Amino acid sequence: MPSNHECAWDNMKKRIIKTHSSKPLAKNASGGRNRRKRVLIDVELTNDDDFAASFSGNNKFFAKMTADGLLLKPADPQPSKIYVEPTTFCNLKCRSCMRNSWSEQEGRMTRETFGRIIRQTKKNPSIREMAFWGFGEPLTHPDIIDMVGQAGKTGVSTEIITNAALLDKKKSSDLIKAGLGKLVVSIDGVSQDKHDHMRPGANLAAIMDNISNLNALKMLQGNENPKIGIEFVLTRSNLSELPGLPDIAKKLSADFIIVSNILPYTPDMKDEILYGISAGRPFAMRHSCDLPDISLPVIDVKRNTSPSILSFLVNAGATASIARNNSYYEADALCPFVMKGALCVNWKGEVSPCPALMHSHTCFINRRQKNIRSYHVGNINTDDIGKIWNKPEFVDFRRKVIEFDFPPCVTCECDLAESNEEDCFDNAFPTCGDCLWARGVALCP
């Protein structure tokens, strides 16, 4: 029986009313593969479609035939989700964190800056979500409870990603009262040794007690929220812990699990990756309402990795077909941030299209060092969201990302792939051909 999601897509395809062929894209200047040709179509959407409602009235889509059927990408979604970075201070020093590879000043978002975000959110009804996370621990911000409460009063759903080490009973009770919709806890091991290896100083038993206390307080207050999620950063070192993750999820009454590959930010982590040749779209499975939803990234399934991966799937009660092992060249990249109409605001108020571009840093793509320069399209302290969103520079950037008019830099070793300044398709800064989120290798809530 087809899912509601599949039915929505079928209904949408039936309502295509006209097509426009876009002009062919030029061949790669370096003599490589042809850049993809896209077709722009108009789709008639009705207001009673939950699926269509997520596009906020936009009926322009890019269409592409794939082996799995017709792929539609919204030509330019409206802003719908704001990622707010309350702070870059943190109580831990996790080995997988971007903070290990930058020299930026640490700081906290001011009340004035956050007040601007709230006022702008009220003026833009297309914004439906506000996520409090970035590259710091949100619970270290002294105003985080008030920030969540103010956001909820605008009508948006709210979310926090936290290491939960500071989630005492008072913070838990206050977050419930503030109306927090979702709390995602970062857990990178089911044993203390492995968790501490990735997150030095984090006491796994104490973190689980904190979440259990939160769940107990939810029951006492008669509240189903916040929903609990688990985010697990997968490495060679903690792969053997993966089969035990569903048991942790059950103990914490988690509604979902997100497993992401690691994006190394330091040389000592570059050999921890599990995705040397794999790419394509991630696993996304729904099953019994008694079990958490599962999202997995693309992973190289080899003799030494398959037992842990398959045990995890079996223990989680998942049923899914294994996607064919597409190469990076054949995979259709989808930016999860631009596609959903995201705006990312760092603690200083600077606005970026995605979390990866909020701060300048160094990372390692398939063990190759890459220098990323931050990209800001405006500042919430001086510009309105609508003005920022409609800047020609930002509109053009979103178009390129949605079409994904970038070369497959992930498997390349040319000099241009060493930064995000330019690429061999003559794209200027910022280039996105190396983005692991667009390739389904890295996942975020």
Sequence-ordered strand ranges (E) for 203-314: 227-234, 256-261, 283-285, 293-296
CA 62-65-69 angle, to 5 degrees, is 110
Bridge partner residues of 185 (DSSP): 162, 230
What's the pLDDT score for residue 309? 76
- Give me the helix-helix angle, 111-123 and 144-153, nearest 10°: 10
396 or 405, which is more confident?
396
Residue 329's pLDDT band (cuts 50, 70, 90): very low
pLDDT tens for each residue of 34-66: 455 555 555 544 444 444 444 444 556 666 656
Share of the chain above pLDDT 70, in %: 75
The alpha carbon of residue 218 and the mean position of all alpha carbons in its chain are separated, in whole angstroms, by 27
pLDDT tens for each residue of 277-315: 554 334 444 444 556 777 777 677 677 777 887 777 777
What six digits make up the tokens of 331? 């995979």
What's the pLDDT score for residue 291? 63
Distance linking the first and last C-alpha atoms of the chain: 27
> Residue 266 in contact with residue 303, Cβ under 8 Å?
no
Closest CA to 44 of 72, 14, 84: 14
Phi, psi of 256 (to 5 degrees): -155, 160
What's the pLDDT score for residue 38? 52
Q: What global pTM score does this model have?
A: 0.79
Lowest mean pLDDT among 35-39, 94-98, 256-260, 420-424: 35-39
Bridge partner residues of 379 (DSSP): 350
Q: How many helices (H) and strands (E) does the chain have?
A: 11, 17
User: For residue 383, what are the CA distances in angstroms to 96, 194, 338?
Assistant: 33, 45, 20
**Using the 8-state DSSP alphabet, how is residue 153 labeled?**
H
Cis omega (within 30 of 0) on the bond before 407? no
> Residue 338 in contact with residue 354, Cβ under 8 Å?
yes
pLDDT tens for each residue of 184-228: 999 999 999 999 999 999 999 999 999 999 999 999 999 999 999
Phi, psi of 222 (to 5 degrees): 65, 40
Q: State the DSSP string of 16-79.
A: EEEEEEPPPPPBPTTS-SBPPP-EEEEE---TT-HHHHTTTT--EEEEEEETTEEEEEESSPPP
Cis omega (within 30 of 0) on the bond before 336? no
> Residue 87 in contact with residue 138, Cβ under 8 Å?
yes
> Residue 377 in contact with residue 351, Cβ under 8 Å?
yes
CA distance 291 to 371: 40
Residue 114's pLDDT band (cuts 50, 70, 90): very high
CA distance 440 to 418: 21
pLDDT tens for each residue of 118-134: 999 999 999 999 999 99
What's the pLDDT score for residue 48? 44
pLDDT tens for each residue of 270-279: 999 988 655 4
User: For residue 177, what are the CA distances in angstroms to 150, 172, 182, 213?
Assistant: 12, 9, 13, 15
Bridge partner residues of 130 (DSSP): 82, 158
150 or 306, which is more confident?
150
Share of the chain above pLDDT 90, in %: 60
Report, in angstroms and rounded to the nearest whole number, the Rg of the chain calculated over CA atoms.
Answer: 21
Mean pLDDT comparison of 45-49, 309-313, 384-388, 414-418, highest-scoring range: 384-388
For the segment 361-380, the average pLDDT, to the nearest whole number, is 95
> Residue 29 in contact with residue 426, Cβ under 8 Å?
yes
* Pairing label, strands 256-261, 227-234: parallel
CA 117-120-124 angle, to 5 degrees, is 130
For the segment 351-356, the average pLDDT, to the nearest whole number, is 96
